[in-house]
Amino acid sequence: MKEVLLHKGEFLGADLRAMFNNPVYSDIIITCKDGGVVYGSKLLLAARSDIFARLLIKDINNKENDKENNNNSSSLSLNKLNFDNSENNLTFTEFNSEILLIILEYLYMGNITMESLTLTNVVEAYLGAEYFLLPGLEEIIITFLDNALKCSADNNLSAKILTHASEFMLPSSDDTLFRTLHNCLVITPLESIDYDNLTTEGLTFILSPLNINTSYEEFVTSEYGVFRYITLWSAYHCDENNDSILSYFEPLLPSSDHAEHLDAGELEQLRKLHEKNSKKSKSKEIKSSITTTLNALLPSVDFKLIHPSILANIIEPLDIVPNDMLIDAFRYQAQLPAGSGPKRNRGTITAKPENLRLQWSQQACGKQCMLLENDILLKSSSKKYEWARTTLPIRAISLDSLNSLNTPNNTPNLTPNNQNTPNTSNTPIISTSDSTSQISAE
C-alpha cells in the first residue's frame, strides 16, 4: 500500500502520481476482467472522462414544464448532477487490470510511461482509449506502435498485431490503428509473412483497394507474388496437416524473383510436373479443396499486371483461376501499344527509402554464406572472398564505406555507413581476410 504524501503542494504532477492507484486517496474500487483491483478517485475520474462521469454520477432531472402561452414559450429543463455515494465499487468485464491502469494513469497524469505499453497489450490499450473517448491517449498509443513497427526487423510483427486486432473488430481504413498496420504491411513483402499469421479478414484488408486512402505507391509485392501468396496461404489453411496440399502447389509456383526468368529447361520441367499431377487421382480433389477460400481472395489480384508468360506457363495450367479472369488479362496484354509493357506491381514506386528494409538475398549469395536475424546479418566462413546480393540496390556505398567492428570473439561486423561514394551495384564482393566476417544490412 502506498504511503500518504509527505511533501504536498510542491508539484502537482508529483502529487497526482502519488495519488494514482493509491487506496489512501481513493473512494472507489474497480474490479477488472482478470479479477485485478484498481483504485481511483470519483471526482477526478468523473472530471477527466465523460464515460466515468456517466458511471459515477447520478443525473437528477428536475423538469418544470410551463404551460404554453400565446407566444409558444418553451419549457425549462434544469439538470442537477450529484454523486451516487451508495456505489463505491465498479466492475469492468471489458478490460483487465493492466489496461485499466493505463487508462487511469493517463487520466491522472495526462500521459503514460512507455513501460506501460508493450506490443502484447497495445491493441487492448487502444481499444480502451477508444472506449473511454480519449483521443490524446489514442495518439500516444499509435505513435508507440508506429515506432515499434519501424524499428522491428520481424516482418511478421505487423501481421500478428493485425490478426489480434481483428479478433475485436473488423479491419477498417477509418480506424487509425488499422491504417497504421496497413501502411506497414504494404511495404512488407508478402512472401516473408508466415501463413498462420494472417486471417482472411486481414489478408483481404491488405490487398483490397476499397476504402484505402492510398494509390498503392508503396506496395512492394509484385502481382504474381500476391497470387502466389494467396494460393499457398489458401492451401495452408485448407489442409488440416498443412502438408499435402501445400506441398502439391509449392513446386508449381516458382518464387517471384524467378518466375519471369524461367529458361526452356525449367519450363519443360514445369510442364512435365503438371502432366504428372494431372494423372494423380487426388489432383481434382486437392484443387477443389482450396476453391472456396481462394475464390474469396482472387478478386484482390489484378491479373493484368502479371507477365503473359507467367499467366500462360504457371497460372493457367493450375486450373484454379476462372477462365474469364485470365481471358481479360490476356486481352489487356494483347491490346497494349508496341514496346510499352505493363508494370508488374500495383505500386508506382517500390517504397519510400526511409521505409525500406535492406536485407541479403537468400537466392543470391556464396556457398559459405549464412543469413541470420531475418536475413539482415550475413556470416561467411570463407578465408578469401565471398559475394552476396542484397534485396535492394546499394547506392552511395562502396567497400571503403563499410565499417569493421571487432566483436569479443574477434569476428568483425561490417556495417554500411552513409558516405557518399558512388556505387550502384547490389552485389558487393566482400574480402573476408582470414577470419569469419559478419555483414549487417541495417
* Average pLDDT, 10 consecutive residues per value, the chain (442 residues): 55 79 88 91 90 74 38 35 54 90 93 89 95 94 94 91 93 89 90 93 83 59 94 87 80 88 89 86 84 91 91 93 93 76 59 54 73 73 74 50 43 42 43 45 46
Instruction: Output the pLDDT for position 263.
Output: 87
In a domain, 181, yes or no: yes
In a domain, 167, yes or no: yes
Instruction: Output the pLDDT for position 277.
Output: 85
Same domain, 195 and 295: yes
Instruction: Output the pLDDT for position 358.
Output: 63
Q: What is the CATH number of the domain that holds 54?
A: 3.30.710.10
In the chain the first and final C-alpha atoms are separated, in Å, by 46
What is the β-pairing status of strands 412-416 and 437-440?
parallel
Query: Would you list the DSSP string of 253-274?
Result: S--HHHHTT--HHHHHHHHHHH
Instruction: Output the pLDDT for position 106.
Output: 94
Domain housing 178: 148-334
| CA–CA dist 305, 307 (Å, integer) | 7
Instruction: Output the pLDDT for position 347.
Output: 63
For residue 3, what are the contacts with CB-CB under 8 A and spacing of at least 6?
24
Report the 10 Å Cβ neighbour count for 424.
Answer: 9
Q: pLDDT, tens digit, for every residue of 247-275?
A: 899 999 999 888 888 888 999 999 999 88
Same domain, 103 and 153: no
Same domain, 177 and 321: yes
Instruction: Output the pLDDT for position 58.
Output: 63
Same domain, 157 and 270: yes
In a domain, 124, yes or no: no
Alpha carbon of 104 to those of 17, 28, 48, 123, 188: distances in Å? 11, 13, 10, 17, 35
| CA–CA dist 380, 439 (Å, integer) | 9
Domain boundary among 58, 92, 111: 111
Q: pLDDT, tens digit, for every residue of 167-183?
A: 998 888 889 999 999 98
Please give the tally of structural domains in the chain: 3
